[in-house]
A and B are shown apart, each in its own frame.
Chain A
């Protein structure tokens, strides 16, 4: 068991009451100041002070970082992804260079060429 603050065990729920009391005080302070109007000269003086303090730091522009999310929209980034997936290539081996069985089919060339021409005109 750890030591209690001031050596006294807090009453159950007491810390919650304290927080509520504190927040109530803050709200009352804010609300009491709502009707007070700041003098325009005072506002201008505060604004000038803030501007001189931040100086050239105004107008911060975001610049691209050297590390950015990869959208995989270039051949380079896709190639990096492939490398990342084939992480064990160096330790792997196979006893084949060429795989597969071949079957040939014939189709009506006129129909195939018509389809190719139609598809060559599509965007996607």
Chain B
């Protein structure tokens, strides 16, 4: 891995607080010596693919890959560039697609064109003809083969959004078909419920503490996914579009700076507790973060209103997802939630200790439970 790549990854994950231990190594070094429990979790996100397995000693091993591509027309020049570089690519029809972090580096270096994504708003990108082909190449290379026959797998699925006419059925079936073809016993799982399984929100009632009960928010690149759960069962699930990617787009429009550069600034410089107001991009990002948080809290109040009688205690809100990883995000969320009248008493807003991995780890925990149930 190049030094630049290391720096990018450090910038992306620098603010995450490890629980006990955290390592960043190549897959073969870590996974080669480990024995895993059957059951794999896959977070199929708009921005990243993350795959989690749990080792026999309890360690979670997460593999991630940026879900992003830079298209190059097939020509002698592009073939020469790819041959002389260590870029990873897929060739489909008359285009090369440079995959992952290199796509972002390349578009910034060349200074023209845009990266493309196989996913949009949480589902397969309908405007990209090769979306399923490209996504499958990436997923197959990140996930690998089942470790046992018919290994259970859970993949994250967004709820249908309340602010866009988008249906997730086709996306769900295509992914289910793909994992099944790879030899897995696959099932979808709501993205926000994965966070519940990973973070275990607790409700405090007169009868004591009730596990797996509370509100979970997954702030992803394409959308927010939210759930209200009680004892591990989902009571309400919904999603809203216009999340992290929308911020990049709006800030790019407002400042005249390309989206790719906005992404770099957001991931490397932005701190919502300490905005540099002389920087137009940071100022604009701060404004759009506030707008997004107010919008999400408005939806939470509306969608969970009818369920207030079913939660007879004080509940916890847990937040995870790549968009929540900007420093200061959780404090702004909590400030915004305290300003409105919520349908429930909320005693705490908690940021997942592994916000980037909560969805994949929660899906993994559910897949391991599926395996246990299947082999009773």
Contacts and interface: CB of A to CB of B under 8 A. Distances in A.
Given A91-B93, A101-B64, A103-B22, A81 B173 contact: yes
B64 A103 contact: yes
Given A91-B93, A119-B365, A122-B232, A100 B65 contact: yes
Contacts of A95: 82, 88-89
Given A82-B178, A119-B232, A102 B141 contact: no
Interface residues of B, number: 72
A116 B65 contact: no
B99 interface: yes
Given A86-B133, A122-B232, A92 B90 contact: yes
B212 interface: yes
A78 interface: yes
Interface stretch (B26-34, B244-252, B266-274, B292-300): B26-34
B30 A101 contact: no
B137 A94 contact: yes
Nearest to A84: B177
Interface stretch (B107-115, B158-166, B276-284, B367-375): B367-375
Interface in B207-235: 211-212, 231-233
A86 B61 CA distance: 29
Given A99-B100, A120-B373, A78 B91 contact: no
Interface stretch (B13-21, B301-309, B332-340, B342-350): B13-21
B200 A102 contact: no
B232 A105 contact: no
B92 interface: yes
A104 B212 contact: no
B82 to A, nearest CB: 8
Interface in B1-44: 1, 9, 13, 18-31
Interface string A94-124: 1111111111111101011011111111100
A17 to B, nearest CB: 47
A112 B58 contact: yes
B177 A101 contact: no
A106 B27 CA distance: 17
B17 to A, nearest CB: 11
B354 interface: yes
Given A79-B181, A95-B89, A115-B212, A104 B21 contact: yes
Given A72-B173, A99-B88, A116-B372, A105 B200 contact: no
Contact of B23 (A78, A86, A94, A104): A104
Contacts of A109: 58
A44 to B, nearest CB: 55
Contacts of B289: none
Interface of B: 1, 9, 13, 18-31, 49, 51, 54, 58-65, 82, 88-93, 99-100, 130, 132-133, 136-138, 141-142, 144, 173-174, 176-178, 180-181, 197, 200, 211-212, 231-233, 353-354, 357, 361, 365-366, 368-370, 372-373, 376
8 contacts: A86-B133, A92-B92, A102-B29, A105-B21, A106-B60, A115-B369, A120-B370, A122-B369
